[in-house]
Amino acid sequence: MGIEQLLEKAAHYFKENDLNRIKEAYEFAEQAHHGQVRKSGEPYILHPLAVADILVDMQMDVTSIIAALLHDVVEDTTVSLEAVQDKFGPTCAMLVDGLTKLERIKFKTKEEQQNENYRKMLVAMAQDMRVILIKLADRLHNMRTLKYQSEESQRRIADETLEIFCPIAHRLGISAIKWEMEDISLRYLNPQQYYRIVNLMQKKRTEREQYIEDVITNIKDKLREMGIEGDISGRPKHIYSIYKKMSSRNKQFNEIYDLMALRVVVDNIKDCYAALGIIHTLWKPMPGRFKDYIAMPKPNMYQSLHTTVIGPKGEPLEVQIRTWEMHKTAEYGIAAHWTYKEGTTAPEGTFSDKMQWFREILELQKETDNAAEFMESMKMDFFTD
Ligand code: GDP
């Protein structure tokens, strides 16, 4: 992965002018980090480049991409914040400053100090939410390259990720990052269980895939008969969610049926309910398992219809139904909700009002300095689920 590939990908939604600014930021960062290497032995610049790449996938705005490329220059090189500001402007400098400060925070992982950790993160978010989004991408890439760290660091970083960064990703609805970080964390914190689940899943994989293939064909035919366009896919469950199910409900692996779930993505809300009807006529729904998160979205904006039916083999089969727009929100949460001005591509982003609750929390935290009091005053269980 080099800058050329990044620019190629970014060209799908950035204008030439923005692409030039991204290239300039890359060259600036490359020069600043020149001679530095990562623990893997690779040139350091590959890290900020990878972070920028994650943000391009999330379709973040150009300032975020530039700040991602520059996120370590103030902390790790002789470049000053003023120099960043002169060359890339005040917003970009503010983001880099936020990330530099966040880098210096020593998170405490003991349970009773959690409140203080969250407050620190929220203070950073209050400045500009993009700081947190870039930080999450940064942490994801560090997790992907965790094998180059010492064993002790691996455990500490994985622990911190699971305790602090995954819940934040969850609350912001950025599931794509949350799930990957959870799985990597488990691999380092409990390798025995992690690999055991991986192996057990592998064993019945072919059988499971054939089964899901048949189910998909069945639904596809029926949808077509009704004139509904839909994309149906099998969705293997994440290792961490299986692990949690086994430990919280004290179940054995072979007692967990729903290793694979189905996802139906259609064009509009009307088709979501139509698809639900079709599935419920094909297989009997299990009582109490239907959830309408379209009519009642989750606080992180997640929307979908959930149902569990008794599948053709008599086993429970979990199904999610959503539109393409909901799918994007399910993967990228708040990052999918930047509003762009008509006719322009990827300018400065602003968040839509859909996360009003989040704004309120940020306002609230400005008014109080005491971490415990702040968490208490939030009433809603912000970081627990
Ligand atoms: P429920 O009992 O039907 O509400 O479902 P769960 O909370 O057990 O979630 C079932 C599945 O829905 C999960 O495995 C996820 O794939 C998906 N899901 C639930 N909540 C969210 C969410 O906030 N974001 C995303 N992306 N997926 C979610």
Q: Which CATH number is 186's domain given?
A: 1.10.3210.10
Does the residue 261 lie in any domain? yes
Return the pLDDT at 348: 44
Residue 75 annotated among the catalytic residues of the structure: yes
Same domain, 243 and 317: yes
> How far, in Å, from the CA of 290 to the mean position of ligand 1?
12
Return the pLDDT at 126: 61
Which one, of 138, 181, 133, lies nearest residue 159 by Cα?
181
C-beta neighbour count of 289 within 10 angstroms? 13
Same domain, 21 and 79: yes
Mutate to test the pocket of ligand 1, among 174, 233, 304, 317 (most ligand atoms within 8 A of CB): 304
Same domain, 110 and 149: yes
Q: How far apart are CA 178 and CA 184, in angstroms?
A: 10
Identity of the residue numbered 54: I
Q: Which of 24, 75, 103, 160 is catalytic?
A: 75
> How far, in Å, from the CA of 291 to the mean position of ligand 1?
10
Same domain, 209 and 190: no
> How far, in Å, from the CA of 293 to the mean position of ligand 1?
10
Same domain, 172 and 244: no
Return the pLDDT at 342: 35
Residue 70, SS3 per DSSP: helix
**Which ligand 1 atom is nearest residue 241's CA?**
14
Same domain, 175 and 245: no
Does the residue 336 lie in any domain? no
Same domain, 75 and 167: yes
Per residue in 151-178, pLDDT (tens digit) is 999 999 999 899 888 988 988 889 999 9
Q: Are 215 and 243 in contact (CB under 8 A)?
A: no
Return the pLDDT at 343: 37
Q: Which of 24, 30, 57, 76 is catalytic?
A: 76
Give the domain range for residue 265: 203-328
Which one, of 298, 230, 299, lies nearest residue 262 by Cα?
230
Which one, of 349, 348, 345, 347, lies nearest residue 336 by Cα?
349
64 vs 48, 52, 53, 95, CA distance in Å?
12, 8, 11, 8
Residue 360 annotated among the catalytic residues of the structure: no
C-beta neighbour count of 272 within 10 angstroms? 24
Q: Are 22 and 62 in contact (CB under 8 A)?
A: yes
Pick the last residue of a domain from 328, 346, 379.
328
> In the numeric block, which tokens belong to residue 89?
């402007």
Rg over CA atoms, the chain: 22
Pick the last residue of a domain from 139, 170, 194.
194
Mean pLDDT per 10-residue section of the chain, whose length is 385 residues: 94 94 98 95 97 94 96 94 96 92 72 66 72 94 97 94 88 92 98 93 86 94 95 90 87 74 96 97 95 92 95 90 96 75 40 54 57 49 45
Domain count for the chain: 2
Closest residue by Cα to atom 9, ligand 1, is: 306
Mutate to test the pocket of ligand 1, among 178, 286, 302 (most ligand atoms within 8 A of CB): 302
Same domain, 159 and 211: no
> How far, in Å, from the CA of 165 to the mean position of ligand 1?
18
Q: Which CATH number is 233's domain given?
A: 3.30.460.10
Same domain, 226 and 282: yes
Pocket of ligand 1 (CB under 6 A): 173, 175, 241, 291, 298, 300, 302, 306, 320, 330
**Which ligand 1 atom is nearest residue 291's CA?**
3
Per residue in 263-315, pLDDT (tens digit) is 999 999 999 999 999 999 999 999 999 999 999 998 888 999 999 999 988 88
Same domain, 120 and 252: no
Does the residue 335 lie in any domain? no
Closest residue by Cα to atom 5, ligand 1, is: 306
Does the residue 296 lie in any domain? yes
**Which ligand 1 atom is nearest residue 175's CA?**
26
Return the pLDDT at 375: 52
Mutate to test the pocket of ligand 1, among 262, 320, 331, 384 (most ligand atoms within 8 A of CB): 320
